Amino acid sequence: MHRRCLIGALCVVASWGCSGAGARSPAGDSYDTSLPAFQDPASTNDAPEISRSQGTPGGVVVLWPRVVLPRKGEMPDEASTRQLAGRLQAKLASMLRDKFPGVPVDVRPEPERVCPRAGCVAASVGILFTRSGKGGCTATVLASRQGDSPARLVPWAGGVKLKDETVPFREAPELRVRVMDHAACESLIEEAGKRDPEVEEAIRGVLR
């Protein structure tokens, strides 16, 4: 189990609330897609992955990245993976504050990566962050309107092929994304910056 989760409950392949015990990606990889049901925003008994904030109407909740690591073989360093996830989230929050001045931005701490079952009252943005055991990374942004809306998938860094352009609310996005080519993890933030305009457009769409 320690090989499949990051310290501090950052699970390797946690889900967005699918009820099944497992699922299979287009590439044939298996993932755990179970997640305890949401009870109450203020409850300490909730799964730690559920956001304790629903945001502000007209604002954006920036969720902690959803991290997917290899199931077999060499495992990447946990501390550097967490650091990269934090840098991706910080970059996304910085973009929001820069491009959408006046819009309330609520940045959620690790490991809060999913809105409550009824959805957030604000729009939400998250990141699917995958990392190989050989120094390769990808990042895909997930942008959702308020409530239980589907998330639009926007490739951000690395080469990915989308099975669908959206994923239903709280379903595992990695099942809709196939990694074709990793970006070097050390240049992940710079690579993501090249596609910032596409991410900005997607976020603008969920704020309308």
pLDDT tens-digit map of 38-81: 334 434 567 999 999 999 999 999 999 999 998 887 889 999 99
pLDDT confidence of 151, banded at 50, 70, 90? very high
Determine the pLDDT at residue 71. Answer: 84
Q: 144 lies in which domain range? A: 5-37+49-207
Q: Does residue 44 fall inside a structural domain? A: no
Q: Does residue 58 fall inside a structural domain? A: yes
For 61-83, give one letter per residue: b (16+ CB within 10 A) or e: bbbbbbbbbbeeeebbebeebbe
Q: Does residue 193 fall inside a structural domain? A: yes
5-14, 61-70, 82-91, 165-174: the lowest-pLDDT one: 5-14
Determine the pLDDT at residue 74. Answer: 83
Strands 23-24 and 136-144: unpaired
Q: Does residue 83 fall inside a structural domain? A: yes
pLDDT confidence of 104, banded at 50, 70, 90? very high
Number of domains composing the chain: 1
Q: Does residue 43 fall inside a structural domain? A: no
187 or 36, which is more confident: 187
Q: Does residue 112 fall inside a structural domain? A: yes
Q: Does residue 105 fall inside a structural domain? A: yes
Q: Does residue 163 fall inside a structural domain? A: yes
Residue 28 has pLDDT above 50, yes or no: no
Percent of the chain with pLDDT over 70: 78
Residue type, 117: R
Determine the pLDDT at residue 75. Answer: 87
Taking alpha carbons only, the member of 134, 110, 131, 105 closest to residue 120 is 105
Determine the pLDDT at residue 139. Answer: 98
pTM above 0.85, yes or no: no
40 or 116, which is more confident: 116
